[in-house]
Amino acid sequence: MGLTISEIRDRTTRARHLMQRSRQQNFAVGAFNIDNQETLIAICRAAQKLNSPVMVELSQGEVEAMGLENVRDLVDNYRDEYGIEMYINLDHSPDVESCKRAIDVGYEFIHIDISQANHDASEEEIIAKTKEVVEYAKFTGALVESEPHYFGGSSNVHDSEIDYEEIKKTFSTPDGARSFVEATGIDTFAAAVGNLHGKYPVPKELDLELLAEIRKAIGCQISLHGGSGTPLHFFEEAAKLGVSKVNINSDMRYAFRKTLEKVLSENPKEYAVVKLMPEVYEEVQKVVEEKIIAFGSQDKAVS
């Protein structure tokens, strides 16, 4: 069932208040990708247990798998069932029209990432299309996030080491962040300070000094993508520095896949897979709880 414009604006207002609270109280909100209903349930249970606000998010492939409107309804139903504070973020959307559709459906957070589809997109093109989404989002009040260049890695488990000398070439700069925010009017800047999509054999390292400089340079919210595989103390410090949103995907996918493989191997004659899922829920929920605690968002939910 579709939402009225009044209902959508009420939810985006609440989302804006959440971002304000995150800055005032020095916590970050976990944005957790979903590509199935089981992962959504695990996120809801973690949010309920720890009384934490959460976002669920979908990238383009996840939208295609689950449906833009379907997820809106699922999130609303589970939010009410569990009595939690939960929002939806469109993650790394590669074009303006996809962002507009999500805004129309009532997504509270929109990430426009033109360089996702075209890694060589010019900054002028990225700015122009980001501004178009920012302007369109004013009708509902949705918060818009973006960045001025391609963000590396992929949300999977990788065997290769991290080439930090190469990654550093794509780090954000305070001046670059300020210029991009002023040019686009975005609500959230996606910073690159050592965060990288995916899970790697070695832990990731965040440049917290650079993050602090970026925080001083811009007034809007800051997000960190590629949070999986990062030692938790980096998140604790990032939240204190003023990061409002951290994206998590690969850590949950890894827990889901490994646990599902385990229960399938232990129950070779069980074909009702739904009966095997409780252990999968539990392991994914543990990942979400761990992140919530590190982000400092426990007991920060409001009704």
Q: Which residue has the higher pLDDT, 200 or 266?
A: 266
224 neighbors 34 (Cβ within 8 angstroms): no
Residue 302 included in any domain: no
Of 204, 206, 247, 205, whose CA–CA distance to 229 is shortest? 204
98 within a domain of the structure (yes/no): yes
Catalytic residue among 35, 91, 207, 251: 91
Specify whether 91 is catalytic. Answer: yes
Percent of the chain whose predicted confidence (pLDDT) is above 90: 82
What was the pLDDT predicted at 262?
Answer: 97
Question: How many C-beta neighbours within 10 Å does residue 104 have?
Answer: 18
Question: Does residue 114 sit within a domain?
Answer: yes
Q: Are 238 and 28 in contact (CB under 8 A)?
A: yes
Mean pLDDT of 104-117: 93
Largest CA distance in the chain: 60
Parent domain of 78: 5-295
Residue with tokens 């761990």: 290
pLDDT number for residue 158: 61
Give CA–CA dist 221/190, Å, rounded: 9
Residue 303 inside a domain? The answer is: no
**For the chain, how many structural domains are there in total?**
1
* Residue in the structure block whose two tokens are 């990788």: 158
Which percentage of the chain shows pLDDT scores above 70? Answer: 92
Torsion of CA 203, 52, 29, 118, to 10 degrees: 80
pLDDT at position 258, please?
97
For position 151, what pLDDT does the model report?
Answer: 67
Phi, psi of 25, deg, nearest 5: -105, 5
Nearest to 44 by CA among 3, 87, 8: 87
On whether residue 165 sits in a domain, the answer given is yes
- Residue 196's nearest CA partner among 217, 221, 220, 172 is 172
Q: Per the domain annotation, does 300 fall within a domain?
A: no
Residue 202 has pLDDT above 80, yes or no: no
Strand partners, 144: 110
Q: What digits encode the pLDDT tens for the residues 145-198?
A: 999 976 665 556 666 666 667 777 788 999 999 999 999 999 999 999 987 766
Exposure of 34 in the CB half-sphere (CA atoms within 13 A): 30
157 lies in some domain? yes
- Closest alpha carbon to 88 in 28, 34, 131: 34
Lowest average pLDDT, out of 70-84, 144-158, 204-218, goes to 144-158
What CATH number is associated with residue 215? 3.20.20.70
Q: Indicate the average pLDDT of the chain.
A: 93
- pLDDT for residue 66 is more than 80: yes
Res 259 pLDDT > 60: yes
Reported confidence tier of residue 11, pLDDT bands at 50, 70, 90: very high
Q: State pLDDT tens for residues 218-258.
A: 999 999 998 888 999 999 999 999 999 999 999 999 999 99
Is 301 a domain residue?
no
Least reliable range by pLDDT among 10-24, 211-225, 226-240, 280-294: 226-240
What is the reported pTM? Answer: 0.93
Alpha-carbon gap, residue 276 to 257, rounded angstroms: 13
What tokens were used for 199?
A: 């899970």
Q: What one-character-per-residue DSSP string does the chain give?
A: -PPPHHHHHHHHHHHHHHHHHHHHHT--EEEEE-SSHHHHHHHHHHHHHHT--EEEEE-HHHHHHH-HHHHHHHHHHHHHHHT--EEEEEEEE-SHHHHHHHHHHT-SEEEE-HHHH-TT--HHHHHHHHHHHHHHHTTTT-EEEE-SSPPPEEEEE--SPP-HHHHGGG---HHHHHHHHHHH--SEEEE-SS--EEE-SS-----HHHHHHHHHH--SEEEE---TT--HHHHHHHHHHT--EEEE-HHHHHHHHHHHHHHHHH-TT---GGGGHHHHHHHHHHHHHHHHHHHT-TT----
